[in-house]
Structure 1
Amino acid sequence: MPSNSSASMFGGAGGRGSRASVASLEGLRNVLRNETERDSAPAPVVPQTAAPTAAQAPPAAPADDKQTLRGLNDRLSGYLGRVRQLEKENGDLQKQIDDILAKRKAPEGRDWDQVEKPLDDLKKQIKDITKDNAKLLLQIDSTKLAIDDLKDKLEDEKKACKELEKDVDALKKTDEETKQNCKQTQNEIDMVKEELARLEQEHKKEVDVLREKVRDSDVTVEIESQNSNLAEIIHKIRRQYDKLAMKNLKETEEWYQSKFENIKVVEAQNTEVLMSGKSDLKELLKEKRFLEVKIQGLHSMIYSLEETLRGTQVEYGQRLTPLNKLILDLEKELKAVRSQVEHLVENNKNLLCVKMKLEAEIENYRRLIQGMTADTESLDLSLEDALDSDQQKPDSKAPEMEVVKEEAAVKQESAPSDKSTPSDKSTPSDKSTPSEAPEGDAIEAEKVFSK
């Protein structure tokens, strides 16, 4: 095959009909660059790979590009070798995959104990986590209850807090007063220190002046006596001045100490008062916080009690509604019974009045009957006399006898007709007495008439 032909570009990837042809060198270079980038990337697992194809172009290349074509052929041969190597590697990987799949499909290929061990550990972890969650929930509930109690307590604490704030304000005022006193004492101390420094300076000045005088005296003094000793005289003078200096120093120190002792005593008292005030303030602040927490707890307690009270009111209201209905119905029935009882009482009163009237009438009838019995006795006597006279004069006495009989019959008829109305309304015991009497009277009258 000639070197300038493009036949070496055909049959890529095993000579299965793939073809790479370009129209110019730039297009060929681009194709090769793309191929090298694909080679550097991880190749997919496929049984066979095909060479990339490009757009069709004239097969012949220019004569000046022979060297470039040779280099491209060399690169293509290396590419094909690389493809074969990758195919082998893909085959090996495919075999390994098939072996692994075969082992997984086999029942005895997997050790379930090794799989279950981490699962058991995970189950234990899940149980522990659930226990921890339950504990946390209990803690949350307990904290909620504690918060409610604290809220209730806070309400009480707020009330006490106001009083404590008043006490704190008073303590603040006292603290400010103590601070002012401390400032005043500090100012006094500074003044005393300034005075002490001034006195020290004055003392130094005086000492310097005296020393200068001593020096001058040393210079100007003339000793007339021949036996005098200047050293002893100077030594005496120095002793005197030292004594005066020591005396002045002691006096100043005593004054300074006495002054500062008083100041220290006042300052110690003020510091004690200040520390006690601070401790009281801290205690009051602690009490304030505690009372605030207590107030909050009491507020929540009051709120919960109000809610329970509302619930109980609603519940008992629901329970009392049927009872109220029953009470209203019973009240209505009671009113009806009362009205009936009142009506019966009125009827009873009326019956008692009627009974009293009937008893009075019965007594009147008894009196009348007694009067009638007396009349009947008188009639018996008159009838006997009349019969005697009739035996003597029957014709003249017959119409008189008829008149007497008619009067007796009329009396008998009128007496039972008048007694019939009250006897019906009266009791059975009342009926017996008046009815029996007229019957006896009638029998006696018949006997008289029969005679």
Structure 2
Amino acid sequence: MPTSNSYQKFFLLDLKCMDLPFDVDNAALMRLDLERKVESLQEEINFLRKVHEEEQLAQQQVHIEMDVSKPDLTAALREIRIQYESMASNNMHETEEWYKSKFADLTDAAARNVEALRLAKQEANEYRRQLQTLTCDLESLRGLNETLERQLREMEDRYTIETANYQDTVVRLEEDIRNLKEEMARHLQEYQELLNVKLALDIEIATYRKLLEGEESR
């Protein structure tokens, strides 16, 4: 007959095979599997009890046919039956207690995994939100950078045009200054010539005046 140790070894072997990270679904599957195993053990115990009862009935029938002067065999069979039932009851109790303990452990592990999964999802959502925020900021900075680059190109183009205009203006002003200097030099020369003519005329007039004054004094 299977003992409680054999049941525990059987369950421990299954648990070692299932000793992997699991989520809530895996925990539920493990619970159902354990329930099926306990149910199978219960059916096995019931079957053994039934076989024992049938054997007991058969032994009772044999006992009726046997001589009443053999009580030792009946007592031995009764003792064996009592030991068998006690052992089966103890094995069943130990199996149920072990199952309850393992089920409680699995329930706690599932609860921890649920909490860990919830925290992981929460952290993932937070990272996703931060990523979306950074993506929006990056797109905004890219747009601002493109705007600044366009404004810079426009300013450079405008500066180039204005610089060319200033250079043209400087050339034109230098030309005007040169023309004004030439014209001023020409006016100064004409003015000097006019001064010379005026001086010659003044001398000539003064000479004539003296001549006239001399004629009048005679």
Normalised to the residue count of structure 2, the TM-score between the two structures is 0.49
Larger radius of gyration: 1
Normalised to the residue count of structure 1, the TM-score between the two structures is 0.26
Higher relative CO (CA 8 A, sep ≥ 6), structure 1 or 2?
2
Which has the larger share of helix? Answer: 2
